[in-house]
Structure 1
Amino acid sequence: MKILFAFSLFTLIGVNVYSQGTLKGNIVSLGKPVPFANVGFKGLNIGAASDIQGNFIIENVPEGELELIVSVVGYEKKKHSVRIENGKTTQVILTIKPSLQELNQIVVTGTMKETFISDSPVKVEVITASFLQKSPTNNIMQAIETINGVQEQIGCGVCGTSDIHINGMEGPYTLVLIDGMPIMSALSTVYGLNGIATSLIERIEIIKGPSSTLYGTEAVAGVINVITKKPQDVPLIGFNAFGTSDLEKNIDFYFAPKMKKSKMLFSGNYYNMNNFIDENEDNFNDIPLINRVSLFSKFSFDRKNSRIFNISAKYYDENRFGGVSQWTPQFRGSDSIYGESIYTKRYELISSYQLPFNEKLRWDLSFNNHNQDSWYGDTEYAAVQTTVFSNLIWDKTIGARHDLIFGSSLRYNFYDDNTFATNQADRVFIPGIFAQDEYALSDNLSILAGLRFDYHEKHGSIFSPRINFKYKPATYTTLRLNAGTGFRVVNLFTEEHAALTGARTVVVKGELSPEKSYNMNLNVNHVFTIKESSGTIDADIFYTYFENKIIPDYETDKNLIVYDNLLGHSISRGFSLSYNHRFNSPFKLSAGGTFLDVFAVTEDNDGNSVRENQAFVPKLSGVFTLSYTIKKLKTSIDYTGKVMGPMELPTYDHPFERDEISPWFTLQNLQVTKEIKKFFEVYIGVRNILNYTQNSPLIDPQNPFGPNFDTAYAYGPLQGRRFFIGLRFGFGK
């Protein structure tokens, strides 16, 4: 901490004054302007985005001969030399070529520094803002449900909690970042993600596989990094609102004034669902009633030599209810009328500051406070969690071959709740250091090696190594081999809401040890052309081996949920295939499929190995997106969907037996978008076109206070077909 404090004092030291100029330009392709292109200078943290007419302006550019880089989804990367003169404005017109290969996007998650997808030794999948607009959602969970290998899993059939599964591994194994910072603490994994408005998102970067070397605990299954929009990259005013036939209402807005020495983005999201729906006739609402408000602000300050200084803050407030139709707030916590009522308040703060030295030193800091006041029937769960995370990162390039990252981190976590497992508030400091080197052996072969050391007060020293190989045997073919380890410290009641809802008694056997994982991924990417069309094919093979995995045991005693470290091991393995094709027409196709084999191996009383498949994991699943644009009508049509194969389900004693294997099902959506003006669009469509829903996810719903009541039998959609209509616009500079 003394080092961090000393670094912060240096921010008060003056810096040299550099000669500066201005660059104005226009980006075109095939004679038409290209909006929302990223424009920046190699080696400098300075840039802008083109507006709807393809125009951009970058001020305070250092004098000299510089290399300009233009990147945008669907176009080839453009490099252009430009000379900036002191006190003058330089103007350029840049022509870029269309390209399907969205491999020229800039990503940061895989290596903790900016790099192009095609250059990254780590496989990174990117979800763009335009993809998020293909089907309107009120939260990020629904937004990524049509991504290959990613599954939204409902954890409670009453209150509607859900998490994200990557390659069959549960939500707490995935680390969620906001602008590169681990802002999502364990308590918020089941509710906090719902507070991220999709209209704020520039892109989402997904890594499948352990990333604990860079990001520490929880990055076991992978990392989801939500990159929010920069104030300078959005219009002055923006608005997006939609409603559904189920009477859901969602409103997003933002205001982004550009001031002389700083840029600001202030935005808000309001979501309301107050319509009690009970299509499965179990007397419980099929989807929770929610009233949610989220406010977000982000400031970007102009500094000498284009150094970074960003601050963002978010406030989240939600009132959520699930239960029987007779419930009113006066029955909150009672044992007469069943209801699950959850009040959530959350505060977040993130900052990133580049220190005023010649070396690239950056200090990232995040703070979040999460308060949950909830009743599950007559069971109270009141919890608070505060997490502070600090990262000091040194980005160093040595020669033309070595690209290094050195860093130190400090995580402080405070957690307290009213459950029997928490006798006193838990306070933990976890210091850590990490280093990695990306070494280019040749133009076609590179190696990335890294190591992290963390010290946990309860569990001692934890080492997390990683190694990545990237090889290009041909111009349009890339192979990536990744191997590494992960670790995770479990917060039981913050992650397993089945332990709070329903009538089963919870048993925790002894002190739970940290979970450890060992992973290997092989990715092959190939870019192809067919006449004047082009596309990409991605194939992945993955294998993860777990020790000390904590698996809830529902089967030993139907009246208990038993938590213990697995005496044995568990494995998550499989392969996936993705296909993207941009035809020589206004038609685009994306499709993918995943095969999963997730199971645990233990020993029975005779010493024989026993295999048990993990529940709620489909052996086969697939996703697809079809897009067609009618240019003359300024209309686009997007058809998205997913297909889920059978999965094993919990079993129940007579007379509450249910199917032990789920059926095949598909969830499909359609949206039609019409551009009225260049800054104004309307859209209509339908979600869950085929109106598929599972039967009631509740066991013995007629006796919710009885010993057999259970809410965990949720494997498919609980909300049927609904139509939606909405509008969005953005204008001004």
Structure 2
Amino acid sequence: MKKTLAFLVFSVPCLVALAQEPLPEKADTSKKDLNEVVVTGTLKEVRRLESPVPVEVYTHSYLRKNPTPNLFEALQNINGVRPQLNCNICNTGDIHINGLEGPYTMVLIDGMPIVSSLSSVYGLSGIPSSLVEQIEIVKGPASSLYGSEAVGGLINVITKKADKAPVFSADVFTTSYQEHNSDIGIRLRPFSGATVLTGINYFKYGNPEDRNHDHFTDVTLQDRISVFQKWDFRRKEGRLFTLGARYMYEDRWGGEMNWNKSYRGGDQVYGESIFTGRWELIGNYQLPVSEKLLFSFSWNRHDQDSRYGTTSYIATQQIAFGQLTWDKQLGAHDLLAGIALRYTFYDDNTPATTRLNQSLNQHTWLPGFFMQDEIRLSDAHRLLAGFRYDHNSVHGSIFTPRAAWKWNIDENNILRLNAGTGFRVVNLFTEDHAALTGARSVEITGRLHPEKTYNINFNYLKKIYTSGQVFIGSETSVFYTHFNNRIIGDFDTDPGKIIYSNLDGYAVSKGISTNIDLTFPAGLKFIVGATYQDVATVEHGRKVQQILTERFSANWAVSYKVKPLKLGIDYTGNLYSPMRLPLAGELDPRKPYSPFWSIQNIQLTYSGFRRFEIYGGIKNLLNWTPNRGNPFIIARTGDPFNKTPDQNNPYQLSFDPSYVYGPNQNIRAFLGLRLTIQ
């Protein structure tokens, strides 16, 4: 607690000293201003209501309703999207969209695919929230425009335009767990015609906790810094030229409470220690010609040095991406065509690059060509047709068509029907850390082939404006995705192994999802979402539900503005139905299914000061943790190196931290300050 108070004592005077003028009244746009939000679901800027592809947009103000130190955690309050922890010790994770696991989700910044493969585990950590304008989510395959990994959907992080960002912004908060987060944004004009926006994020958590008394850390300790800089250049005729770069470094560890770095990689005291260094470069340049030609590029390098007990994982990945698009309006036809080239270098010290996975090369080339035509059939009807052809240097030719139809029944009712295909090239160990932690050995049966999907999505959007100035917005989607060649990690056949192979059958993800927004003139707002899904594999006539996947989920954000007191109240939460869990043996006493569980939070925000606001609240109001009803969470914590004889092991278990389905932090308070200078 002393460190917490010291953090606030340092932060408060710094922010107060800068607060000279009152903040402008803030409008909470969240998700209801459907006519005003610009999206990029079709690889070009259009207004959300005009897009034939359904895109969910979440603004920076929505994410603030439950402040988090990174975007990974911020996604927990988005319907149909779930941050999934994959390890109880290192707390690495991925993003599930409609039940599909992290490797099937592509993450982009400003439309550039800089977060993928190895980077998907850590890429969403450390993106400074001060630079985030909005997050756009497309559910369902988007490979016809974005290529591999965009199978389950994509998450596009849109950063602020440099010329519209505040001159200075700061957001600092701390929790009773002694987690400290600082987010700084600075806008400068170094010379005429150029504007630069710099964001700095620093997160520190260095207070080991063991509240479930298993002698292991409940939450991974982290020390992370990220710096992002974006340049906007003013050019003739308003042509676009932006250039951005980000660097992130993180040191995280978890394990036995008495672990320190002198034990790193040894077999005396168990710990999982991860050093991550990552840099990214992105840019967009509109060519100085009469036609609208845009060249977009990104380049990133990710270096990782990890120790999971005595198992080492040392990996390097580089991805270079370039894309040239031509945008042309010809009468009723809105054409978009492009060529793309993606180069991936990947190397590690695991069997992924040696004898087990023959399909993964160090150097992979993926050139592609895509084209789409959005046809305005009438004022009410639009049809989009497109395709993409890629040639992978390992797997050969891949063809992914796409079609979409949009019907504006009237200004308050819109129907969308989307169908398409997706693909994902083989890239196994770079995402699956379950293969590296614990005592399970890895077995790959045969040569792995690319995964392919077929998807159809029906979307209905309705707006209602009542005479009492109440706004009601609803959006419902029915989705179906069929997988061929699905790569499955089999945890069930042999508790001592993870067996990887292409599924000899098919996999299906299907369900229905609904979002409802209600806005009342008195300052009360409800945003509620719910998803029911069935995610399973079918092999040899036998259907098996996907492990660590819920059938039902819901989330909500209830906000109320007490205008006379300049006080905002936000109550957020989520609810998940039971999911099948990875047991480590027939005698494992842990529950095979999780219970219904929920994380709920409340926040109060006071904006009566000049230029800054203060906020605070409680996270995890129900004090829920996954050890409830279980004798333990991590298997065999008393012998993590499996040294003792079996007679001292009554459940016949090996050490295994993969039994994880939710965050392991108890109820905690938080307090923070935000400052904005326009």
TM-score scaled by length of structure 2? 0.92
Structure 1: give runs of 5+ residues left out of the alignment.
Answer: 1-50, 56-71, 76-99, 604-608
Contact 2:175 2:668 in 1 (8 A): yes
Of 442, 447, 469, the match for 1:511: 447
Corresponding position: 1:638 with 2:584: no
Moved more, 250-259 or 368-377: 250-259
* CA positional deviation for 1:403: 0.8
Residue aligning to 1:656: 588
Partner secondary structure for residue 493 of structure 1: coil
Residue aligning to 1:576: 513
2:388 maps to amino acid: R
Contact 2:39 2:48 in 1 (8 A): no
Corresponding position: 1:463 with 2:399: yes
Contact 1:214 1:452 in 2 (8 A): yes
1:90-129 matches, cutoff 5 A: 101-129=32-60
Counterpart Cα distance in 2 of 1:155 and 1:190: 10
Structure 2: give runs of 5+ residues left out of the alignment.
Answer: 1-21, 355-359, 643-652
Cα displacement string for residues 433-468 of structure 1 (whole angstroms, at most 9, x for unaligned residues): 000010010010100111000001111110010000
Residue aligning to 2:532: 595
> How large is the Cα RMSD of the aligned pairs?
1.6
Partner secondary structure for residue 163 of structure 2: helix
Corresponding position: 1:262 with 2:262: no
Contact 1:615 1:650 in 2 (8 A): yes
Counterpart Cα distance in 1 of 2:389 and 2:559: 46
Contact 1:212 1:464 in 2 (8 A): yes
Residue aligning to 1:524: 460
Partner secondary structure for residue 145 of structure 2: helix
Residue aligning to 1:487: 423
Contact 2:23 2:612 in 1 (8 A): no
Residue aligning to 1:726: 672
Contact 1:106 1:114 in 2 (8 A): no
1:251-650 matches, cutoff 5 A: 251-258=182-189, 259-399=191-331, 401-423=332-354, 426-531=362-467, 532-603=469-540, 609-650=541-582
Counterpart Cα distance in 1 of 2:450 and 2:124: 24
Counterpart Cα distance in 2 of 1:514 and 1:527: 41
Cα displacement string for residues 704-729 of structure 1 (whole angstroms, at most 9, x for unaligned residues): 11271111111122111110000010
Identity %: 47
Counterpart Cα distance in 2 of 1:628 and 1:270: 30
* CA positional deviation for 1:109: 2.5
- For these two proteins, the number of residue pairs brought into alignment is 636
Counterpart Cα distance in 2 of 1:697 and 1:578: 34
Greater RCO (CA < 8 Å, at least 6 residues apart): 2
2:172 maps to amino acid: A
Counterpart Cα distance in 2 of 1:128 and 1:339: 38
1:97-246 matches, cutoff 5 A: 101-246=32-177
Counterpart Cα distance in 2 of 1:53 and 1:126: 23
Counterpart Cα distance in 2 of 1:351 and 1:475: 36
Cα displacement string for residues 36-80 of structure 1 (whole angstroms, at most 9, x for unaligned residues): xxxxxxxxxxxxxxx96599xxxxxxxxxxxxxxxx9749xxxxx
Q: 1:357 to 1:54 in 2, by over 3 A?
A: farther
Partner secondary structure for residue 142 of structure 1: helix
Cα displacement string for residues 287-340 of structure 1 (whole angstroms, at most 9, x for unaligned residues): 100000100101001101010010000000000101001111011000111000
Cα displacement string for residues 327-381 of structure 1 (whole angstroms, at most 9, x for unaligned residues): 1101100011100000000010001100001111010010000000011000010
Contact 1:668 1:687 in 2 (8 A): yes
Counterpart Cα distance in 2 of 1:689 and 1:162: 23
* CA positional deviation for 1:525: 0.5
Counterpart Cα distance in 2 of 1:194 and 1:412: 24
Residue aligning to 2:16: none
Contact 1:596 1:617 in 2 (8 A): no
Counterpart Cα distance in 1 of 2:610 and 2:401: 50
Contact 2:65 2:557 in 1 (8 A): no
Counterpart Cα distance in 2 of 1:383 and 1:720: 34
Partner secondary structure for residue 480 of structure 2: strand
1:723 maps to amino acid: A
Counterpart Cα distance in 2 of 1:589 and 1:306: 39
2:635 maps to amino acid: I
Moved more, 654-663 or 611-620: 654-663
Counterpart Cα distance in 2 of 1:397 and 1:562: 51
* CA positional deviation for 1:470: 0.3
Cα displacement string for residues 606-642 of structure 1 (whole angstroms, at most 9, x for unaligned residues): xxx1111101111111011100001111111111100
Contact 1:155 1:714 in 2 (8 A): yes
1:547 maps to amino acid: N
Corresponding position: 1:710 with 2:647: no
1:725 maps to amino acid: L
Counterpart Cα distance in 2 of 1:101 and 1:704: 51
1:464 maps to amino acid: T
2:475 maps to amino acid: D
Contact 1:682 1:728 in 2 (8 A): yes
* CA positional deviation for 1:157: 0.8
* CA positional deviation for 1:475: 2.7
Partner secondary structure for residue 145 of structure 1: helix
Contact 1:132 1:198 in 2 (8 A): no
